[in-house]
Structure 1
Amino acid sequence: MGFFSKLFKGPEIDMEKSNANAEKMRLLFNQAVENGADYQLIFAYTEDVSRFNYGFVHGSKTKVGNLIVGWNEAEQTIVALPTVPALSGCGAPTYYRRSEILKAYRNKYPTDAFIIYPDRKSYIGINACDWLEDESLYVYVSQTEALAAFTDFFMNRFAKK
């Protein structure tokens, strides 16, 4: 019984690697965002799906963008910081303040995502999971408790329709 339970258990999280990546996320975030230490963090990703139609060939192409997402409950602010899976650098942060957004909600279909419309022309879809194994596309980090805290903040104190 013990052998088979280990065989069908699935992959296990390397907590040493996960903790090291969580520290890298914190360092990048603190460098890029003023008062970054005041924010809680999760890893998330966003998808850009483009469709194409070349006569008989139809399809779509998805681009994945990695994000370090920080939230500050006192300031009612979410910050999205673009990064890469290796956490070797980051882009410029984008701030979403509750008082300045048009709409925010959680979308369950086709993917579970937190959607923020800062205005009528643009939006961001923040997809977040407890853990993603594919290190070539995503940051390797386990974040069960942090994701639960972000979900609670987003749904109960940030979302508005």
Structure 2
Amino acid sequence: MGLFGKLFKGPEIDMEKSNANAKKMRLLFNQVVEHGDDYRLIFGYTEDVAWFNYGFVHGSKTKIGNLIVGWNEESNTIVVVPTVPDLSGCGDATYYRQSEILKAYRNKYPTDAFVIYPDKKGYIGINAYDWLEDEKLYVYVSQEEELKAFTEFFLNRFSTK
């Protein structure tokens, strides 16, 4: 590969750190979801964009919410558990059962997100990538195979478009 190939390859994933975080995700998920081991897991995040306009200053501020996302193919259920980047804790689980949702689809623009409308009042947009390097904002975990499996599950079982 040579010196230049190594220089321009980009950052490499620390698999030891990734595997340790995957285990932490599993522990947190299992604490709040009954029969948690029946679910496959990925890390996802959601964004909340707040727009502001102060005369000459216009812009937006984005808040990132980290998520542990589990899915069970037998029950056609997605479970979302809020967490923090260092996986030091988590919130309560929210269940999205395929038979109970209003609509769901994969949005490609402006970001690649899985969008679920459980009813007419709210929705959740789950952004997920195979790996994100910024540990201050996101959980450090490599999940290429899991993300591929979740995408297939979502598009085949949940997507209404």
In structure 2, distance between residues paired with 1:98 and 1:131: 27
Match of residue 12 from structure 2:
12
SS class of match (2:50):
strand
SS class of match (1:156):
helix
In structure 2, distance between residues paired with 1:34 and 1:61: 36
Q: Provide structure 1 residue ranges, at least 5 long, that are not aligned to the other structure.
A: none
Runs of 4+ in 1 over 6 A off after TM superposition: none
Instruction: State the TM-score, normalizing by the size of structure 1.
Output: 0.98
SS class of match (2:130):
coil
RMSD: 0.7
In structure 1, distance between residues paired with 2:35 and 2:153: 19
SS class of match (1:96):
strand
Match of residue 69 from structure 1:
69
Match of residue 103 from structure 2:
103
Instruction: State the TM-score, normalizing by the size of structure 2.
Output: 0.98
In structure 2, distance between residues paired with 1:24 and 1:55: 46
Match of residue 41 from structure 2:
41
Alpha-carbon shift at residue 98 of structure 1 (Å): 0.6
Identity over aligned pairs, percent: 80
Deviations for 1:20-70, whole angstroms, at most 9, x for unmatched residues?
A: 000000000011101100000000000000101111111100000000000
Match of residue 26 from structure 1:
26
